Structures are given as C-alpha cells and as structure tokens.
Structure 1
C-alpha cells in the first residue's frame, strides 16, 4: 500500500519587516540618544538577528566603538571588493581587534560573476555602477541573507544624503542608521573623547575612502566625498542609493 503523500516543508521567505512594524519600531526609538537606541535594538528589538556592516573607512571607528560598548558578539560584516587599499585592510584588523569584536565576517565577490562580468578587473574604468554591483552590492546582499536587520554607518551630512531616516526598510529588512543625525564635528569630538585611531590615509588627504581605483585625494575646499568616483556622475556605491521600501522614521 502506498504511503500517503506528505506535505512538503516550506521555507519562510516572507520579509522580516513591513512598513507598519518598522514604523512602530521607529516610534519606540524616537527621542533616544544613539547609545540608548542601539541598546534597545540589540537587546530587545532584534537580538541575535542583526549584523553590523562597516567599510572601515575614515569615520567607521565611531559606530564600531558605539556597538562594541553594548555587544561585541554582533556579527561584523566587511565587504572586501578585492580592490581595497592595503591600509584599509590593516585598519580593519587593528580596529576589530582593539574593540574586541568576536565575529568578523569578510565577504568577497562571487568568482563566477567576476569571471563572467569583470574578467580583466577593469570594469571600474568604464562602468563603475556595474563594478560596484558585482563587487559590493551582491556580496553584501549575500552576507545579509541570514539577518533580519543591519546597522549602517551612513550620515545625513554627506553628499547626496540629506535627511536620511534613522530606521528604514531595505528589501524587507530593517536598516538602522544610528549616525543619521551626526555632524562632522560630532564625529571628530567622539574620536577625541575615546582616543580612537584614525584611518592612516585620512592624514594623506583622503577624508572618504573606498576602493583604490575610484578613490582620489580631496583638494582644499572640496566636498569630503569629491574624491569618490571623480569624473563620474556617481556619489554612492549602490548599497545606499536606493531604499526599496518607505522610510520608517
């Protein structure tokens, strides 16, 4: 006698958050300072389900330090585009070790995609958006797959980022921007107050640091991000340029 058919197990692919629940979380965070906001998120809202993403750029140490004072076991994700400055890789190791993070996850571009779409490694020179998609956006999407939320270090005062929310939705995932309202002066004061090490290239005229082919020195009087993708109509790598859902707060 044949066995009765069994129901197939289903994989839950529903988004972790929708606009309504994200807005409710945003309301809970309203009025809290940055540390209190992070404490509530990490210990109550999304404990064990959130990743901290860092480029280990010029201002990254502030957010890394803030999170480290609350929970050093939060997975720390770094996208190695394989076009990074050696100084950035060294700075990554120094900061992660100094601040005591226990779960540093380095994700790299898919070698199959590189072979198919950037075999020469020169796509940055004629299609920087496509290069960023292959080397940064796709790897980060892959790295964030296990998580319901992620913490971003972007700031509202930087070029093209005016008025960003502290909490928003990104592909059904909660995206947290704790430094959204911080000014450059706030960041500098935090560096000084906590004796945090600066990225070694900052003193060499690089206030904003990305991949080596698309990062140049900034001249006096220029916007701090003028050295990113110089000569191209481009100010973002693609991770932050489009948020797929409505802002929550």
Structure 2
C-alpha cells in the first residue's frame, strides 16, 4: 500500500484516544504514585508511542528523573525557539547528562516561516501569540505527529488556568499525560532533595517559571508562579496547552497521599 493510501485509510479510522479513554485512565490511576503510574504506562505500552515535552525549566528535573528511571530512551522533545536564556540551554545539557537521557530531540522553528513572519526577531514585542505560534506551536505540532501521546510537566498549582488539571486528557486524538498534575511545590522540593537533582540556575534569582528570555520576568514572593510570563499581556499560555477543563476521575487529594520514597 502506498503512502497516499495509508493516509486516506487513517482518516477513516476511529480517533486514537477520546475523552472517555482519558476518564477511564484517570480512574484507573487515581491516587497512584506518579512514578509507579509512569512505570506501568511505559512498561505496558498503555499510551502507544510517547514523548516527553520538556522546557528544561525550574521543575523539569522531577518528571525527567521519573521517566529516565524507567526508560532513559523515551524521546524528550525540547523546543529551541532561538529565544531561550543561555542558562536554560546549559541546564538542558547538564540535566541530560546527569539523568542519562539518550533520546533528546531538539526541535527548531521553520527557517522560511521565521524569515517570512519574524525577520527582525522582534515579533515577541508586539505579537507574542504570533511569535509563540511560529517558534513553539507549529514546530511541536509537526513533531508530535509521530506520537500517540505526549507527557508534560504541568502542575495545577502553577496558575489559576491550570487548577483542576487531570493526569490524563485528550489533545485532538492524542493523549496528553500530566503525571505531576496534583503535586504541590513542597512535594517537588522534597523530590529534588531526595534525589539530589540539580536546580535551574535562574530559579534562585526569582524565576519560578522560565520560558523565552524576552517574555519571562522575575516573580515577587507570593505571586502566581507563572505571573512573570508575558507580563503586561493578556496571555497565560504559549498555545501548546489550553486552559484546563477538569475531567471526571481526576485526583482530588492534591497529592497529599502520593508516596515518593
């Protein structure tokens, strides 16, 4: 069968995953330790071909450590937007080596798109949504066509738009897995200490959430951890993720009963 025929056949089959699948998985793993959950998901191939989408930000080490402890060859997708802090790129390399990740895939924006729509490299300053679309959304969308599921490091406590985040959700016909959805900052810190994981160098300087350098500001104590992202704009997400719509079957204990030792 040629490639065109396979593509046509694909349009006629049922979606890979539906909201019903996400609800079933949320119920199946309710209250389960995220590390144990991911070991089962990976070992039993529950979500098909998967990739971790990582920004190598301040909390990324926890999820990457969990995944690497099960299978360090799971693909890790990193969007190199061309606008990252130098510290983020250095941290990416340090963490990759430290955790023994063997399948880091660096995704870059399309050169022709950049030339046509952001020739000066300043689109972030007047159209941050358009900048994210070119440098993040479209490149990742293209890369994820090869996978049945993506794994993210989102947590519900990070912002009001992520409150109620389920562990499993659907993104189109693809499954999106958020193992740390109900973890608190305290539990993340405990995990860092337990496994002596390196911290992002900018965290100590007041950056609890780190994206591209032009659109990331320091956050004052007590502020929403993501309030430094796109400061001054009516924007809370880059477009890769949308605001959360809680699903039935999500964990509701805020991680209080998740063992990590």
CA distance in structure 2 between the partners assigned to 1:245 and 1:206 by the alignment: 28
Deviation at 1:95, TM superposition (A): 0.4
Deviation at 1:28, TM superposition (A): 2.2
Please give the root-mean-square deviation of Cα atoms over the aligned residues, in Å. Answer: 2.1
CA distance in structure 2 between the partners assigned to 1:81 and 1:96 by the alignment: 18
Name whichever of 55-64 and 236-245 sits farther off. 236-245
- C-alpha spacing 1:248/1:172, structure 2 compared with 1 (3 Å): farther
Deviations 1:29-54 (A, max 9, x none): 22311111101111114466000110
- Name the counterpart of 1:208: 209
**TM-score normalized by the length of structure 2:** 0.87
Deviation at 1:247, TM superposition (A): 7.3
- Name the counterpart of 2:137: 137
**Kept after mapping to 2: 8 A contact 1:54/1:60:** yes
Deviation at 1:151, TM superposition (A): 0.4
CA distance in structure 2 between the partners assigned to 1:220 and 1:80 by the alignment: 29
- Name the counterpart of 2:69: 69
Deviation at 1:19, TM superposition (A): 2.4
1:194 aligns with 2:195: yes
- Name the counterpart of 2:181: 180
Larger Rg: 1
Question: Pick from 2, 5, 8: which aligns with 1:9?
Answer: 5
CA distance in structure 1 between the partners assigned to 2:133 and 2:248 by the alignment: 23
**Kept after mapping to 1: 8 A contact 2:57/2:200:** yes
CA distance in structure 2 between the partners assigned to 1:68 and 1:39 by the alignment: 10
Deviations 1:147-175 (A, max 9, x none): 00010000000112101110000011000
CA distance in structure 2 between the partners assigned to 1:41 and 1:239 by the alignment: 23
CA distance in structure 1 between the partners assigned to 2:244 and 2:191 by the alignment: 28
Deviation at 1:224, TM superposition (A): 2.0
CA distance in structure 2 between the partners assigned to 1:33 and 1:40 by the alignment: 11
- C-alpha spacing 1:91/1:203, structure 2 compared with 1 (3 Å): same
Structure 1 gap segments, 5+ residues each? 1-5
Structure 2 gap segments, 5+ residues each? 251-261
**TM-score normalized by the length of structure 1:** 0.91
- Aligned 1:2-81 pairs, distance under 5 A: 9-11=5-7, 12-13=10-11, 14=13, 15-46=15-46, 49-81=49-81
Secondary structure of 2:44's partner? Answer: helix
Deviation at 1:103, TM superposition (A): 0.5
